[in-house]
Amino acid sequence: MISIERNYYAYLDEMQIITILLPFQYHQGRSSRFSLLAGTEEIPMQILNSMPIEESIKYTCRIDHDLVIGEQYWVVNEYGEKTDLQIGAVIRTEPFDEKFYYEGPLGFSYSKDKTLFRLWAPTATKVKLKLKSAVNEDAETVEMARGEKGVWSCKVSGDLDQHLYSFLVCVNLEWREAIDPYTVSVAVNGEYGAVVDLESTKKVKPELPPLLQPTDAIIYETHIRDFTIHPGSGATRKGMYLGAGEVNTTGSDGQPTCLSYVKQLGITHIEFLPFHDYEGVDERGPKRDYNWGYNPLHFNAPEGSYSTDPADPYSRIRELKAMIHAVHSEGIRVIMDVVYNHVYIREDSSFEKIVPGYFFRHDEFGMPSNGTGVGNDFASERLMARKFILDSVEYWMKEYQLDGFRFDLMGILDIETMNRVRQTANSIDPTAIIIGEGWDLNTPIPDEQKASIRNQDKLPGIGQFNDWFRDSIKGSTFNLYDKGYALGNEHYYEAAKQVLAGSIGLEKKEKGIFLSPSQSVNYVESHDNHTLWDKILVCSERADENIQQRKHRLATAMVLLSQGIPFLHSGQEFFRTKEGNGNSYRSPDSINKLDWERKIHFSENVQYIKGMIDIRKNIPLFRLASADLIRRSMRFIDVKKPLIGFVLNSPEKYAEWSRAAVVFNPSMAEEAVILPDGDWELLANGQTAGLIPKGEITKNLTVKPISTYVMVCRH
């Protein structure tokens, strides 16, 4: 509610700089002087310059007076008419950031006899807590007191468990209602924050298998609803947190599905698409709507549409924790897909309502920047925005026992924030996986500060989704008809060799893009864009289905046998299709579901990929930890182009597997390959893969068309 009509406008744009806009229709936009009214004191201002801008005259004025942000001031012109001094671009200045940076806790602190609420709102002149015990009951308001660093607080006596709350914040004479950015649970559809007793939801984390280095990880990406929604999933709670955590589920063939299947496959980490509270699905009828979850509303509260009772603020917490605990109990770690780069709608977000203009980047014209493509870029470089991200990461790791994060559009965020994320994770669990999309996006921070692939040397502990790998092996993501190396395009031959070696530059003359293989997340398919199978169907539409399957198998095998961190999209191992839909973020279940019948139909390919996973997990040569080890161990062998062959020599004197050799053949021709001297055991060919040898080879190997061969020598 705006409580004043303004004839002209005044903004505090720096600590002592005030910008005044006088419309032409108001005294022709002219005033020879301005002063500031602080209580009863009138303080003169110096006009530094004036210039016409759109339909007004813009005056830039200086005041030699220390203003108290959070106090109400008025600007008076030569006609004696006044307007309120609004908070303007000052909130995006370093002096503001430094003056109001607050290190302490925010949100609520609950106990049975009282609850303390804290909100950072330094530009507010008044703040009230709105509190209600149930959705349909009348709310009471409690005045909050301003403290140091612009933190408002109040203490409410009594047991507020399951009470709903919001904040009423007055900035620039306008009252706005906002949900607490730090709220840990919400009412249905995020309409209010909810007070809960987190101590009553605690679980003991099961002991997990050791993870000695990031390259030991094998990541399997899925969406909580996709994972179990198919009629043949065998899950009881389909599409729910509890469904994703069910074990011993089986398909129509009596074989494992869902979580038990993922364990059997040999996966080390499940990466779930966002499960923080998001827009796009009505929690009152969640099966009617679908969304991937990249429309964030409340970053620290779980999404309610995956819970059995979205109206109960405990249901989403307890059921998400039960899902994570179930995954952990199977010896698998959990990665959360997080979307700290933007919010759903900036104007409606709590951040913008509470401290307008602070939490989002603006361009040189003062307009919100759009590197995310959704009209708002989160300003991670600002101290309290960075603090929010770090606090949120710490909260999820400690409260939900998460084992890593995948940062959506990480290139929007700044390097210091991401390195601080790594430090925060290390302080809780040094084995936590931190990966992200380091795309170079058009956001107004200097290029050298972006957490992008081009700056990977400044982000040593963070993995990057390797688009060079993706496009070299399967072909361009943005040109559906472009074929990569695995689809038979020799143009990508040299690039394929480099990405197989971890993209670190195997020889000194070769320019790599990463310092370490742990920075390279190798993939050919994810939730974004067309599935690999759908791309192959377009690129090889006249090919026999068996040929198409072999190309797909070859590309997936290259993911699993390359140096770096392998990443699989759920269902990739049974040729997942989305019926040609390249952006299924809100498509129905018929498009997005994980089709467990395909797992049965393509069981031979599933077994082949499982065998490749077994090879990777049991032979350390395929998951070397450093660029130096790769350069000392890996050598390409002389084979006929377009074949690629390489040998890995163990640096450990008494390693069980002294050498490994791999040959990829993307061509339609059978080829002869001469292996280095040794007693080679064949672990994989075009049809089967696994740790049980399929025969011995001394020197001469015949490689079938479109196939992968893996050989090893033992001590």
By annotation, the residues acting in catalysis are 408, 437
Taking residue 591's Cβ as centre, other Cβ atoms within 10 Å add up to: 15
Q: Please provide the DSSP assignment of 545-611 as one string.
A: HHHHHHHHHHHHHHHHHSSSEEEEETTGGGT---TT-S--TT--HHHHS--HHHHHHTHHHHHHHHH
- Quote the Cα angle for 52-54-59, to 5°: 40
Taking residue 571's Cβ as centre, other Cβ atoms within 10 Å add up to: 26
Q: What is the 3-state secondary structure (H, E, C) of 198-263?
A: HHHHCCCCCCCCCCCCHHHCCEEEECHHHHHCCCCCCCCCCCCHHHHCCCCCECCCCCECHHHHHH
Q: What is the 3-state secondary structure (H, E, C) of 415-464?
A: HHHHHHHHHHHHHHCCCCEEEECCCCCCCCCCHHHECCHHHHHHCCCCEE
Among the listed residues 464, 378, 443, the one whose alpha carbon sits nearest the alpha carbon of residue 417: 378
DSSP state of 389: H
Q: Return the SS3 of 691.
A: coil
Q: Return the SS3 of 126.
A: strand
H helices, E strands: number in the chain? 16, 35
Phi, then psi, of 46 in degrees rounded to 5: -95, 125
Q: Is the dihedral of CA 343, 345, 349, 351 positive or negative?
A: positive
Tell me how far apart the alpha carbons of residues 608 and 533 are, in angstroms, rounded to a whole number: 16
Is residue 167 within 8 A of residue 180, CB to CB? The reply is yes
Cis peptide upstream of residue 52 (ω within 30 degrees of 0): no
